Structure 1
Amino acid sequence: MSKRRLDELDQKIVEVLAEDARTSNRKIAAELGVTEGTVRGRIKRMEDEGQIRITAVTNIDHLRNPTLAYIWIEVDSAAEVKAVAQALADTPQIGFVAVTLGRFDILAITLVQNNGQLADFLNTKVSVIPGVRRTECSLGVTFVKHDYRMSKILG
């Protein structure tokens, strides 16, 4: 199946849902000047084709002591990067995994409550993954901007 690109209407629907995924199809339709059935059909198609996923996201502003932990991972060999990245992605506590270029091979991001919790997580979940050579952490201590959508794709 070939990947269908989002057209202008699809993108407008996604923009509305990105602001509030609970917005009714009727309201989206009225705002965009199309029928409710058109909006419903487009959302269903985008979901079915894996182009969007509507989900609830924790607002970290309401957590007691959130610390965003950036875990930089060096892997033993280039051949192991994909397997290590997938093992990290399969770890429920990790919300973001990317294979990177530069000093480290992988970046994983998680939220922790304190340094002890981070140390335990690194020792029991990350460092035990076959192929992980070493880790280094950076901690986000003050949130200047946190957009759970990560970033908008520039058109």
Structure 2
Amino acid sequence: MTRRSLDEIDRQIVAQLSTDARTSNRQIASDLGVTEGTVRARIKRMEEEKQIRITAVTNIDRFRNGSLAYIWIEVERSYQVREVASELARITELGFVGEMLGRSDILAITMVRSNEHLAEFVHQRISGLPGVRRTESTLGVNFVKHDYRMARIVS
């Protein structure tokens, strides 16, 4: 299957859906001056080619009983980064796992109820994984801006 790049109409469709994924194809078509069938076909293609995924997103601003925990992970050997990251990605409680450049090799993000919950999670689920040398954790305490659409590519 060949993947095409997103053209201007695709990007406009994605922009509208990223604001409100419930926007109807009819409304998007009207706003863009194309047919509803065009919008439907383009959304279907982008989903099939895994260029977009339409899903509900938790509004982190509404969580009062939890904190966003950033877990910075250093691996023993550089060749282990991908393997450790893949193992972390299997942990359902982690909402983000990424290979990083800089001081740490991997960043994992999750929600925790308390400092104790974070410590327990890190010690029981992460520190003991083969290849993990050390971890450092930080808690987000006040979110000035949280854009759930952060996956947008800056133009």
State if a TM-score over 0.5 links the two structures.
yes
Q: TM-score, normalised by structure 2?
A: 0.95
Q: In the TM superposition, what are the counterparts of 1:89-108 in structure 2 within 5 Å?
A: 89-108=89-108
Aligned to 2:70: 70
Per the alignment, in what secondary structure is the counterpart of residue 147 of structure 2?
coil
- What secondary structure does 2:95 align onto? strand
d(CA) in 2 for partners of 1:118, 1:31: 46
Q: Which residue in the other structure is 2:11 paired with?
A: 11
Quote the RMSD (CA, aligned, Å): 1.1
- Measured in 2, the distance between the counterparts of 1:27 and 1:79 equals 49
Structure 1 segments of 4 or more deviating over 6 A? none
- Unaligned residue ranges in structure 1 (runs of 5+): none
Question: Which residue is equivalent to 1:82?
Answer: 82
Identity of aligned residues (%): 63
Structure-2 residue corresponding to 1:145? 145
| Secondary structure class of the residue paired with 2:96 | strand
Letter in 2 for 1:76: E
Task: Give the Cα–Cα distance (whole angstroms) in 1 for the partners of residues 56 and 4 of structure 2.
Answer: 25
Structure 2: unaligned runs, 5 residues or longer: none
- In the superposition, the TM-score normalised over structure 1's length comes to 0.95
Alignment correspondent of 1:22: 22
Post-superposition CA distance 1:79-127 (Å, at most 9, x none): 1100111111121111111111122111111111111110111011111
Partner of 1:40: 40
Q: Is 1:110 matched with 2:113?
A: no
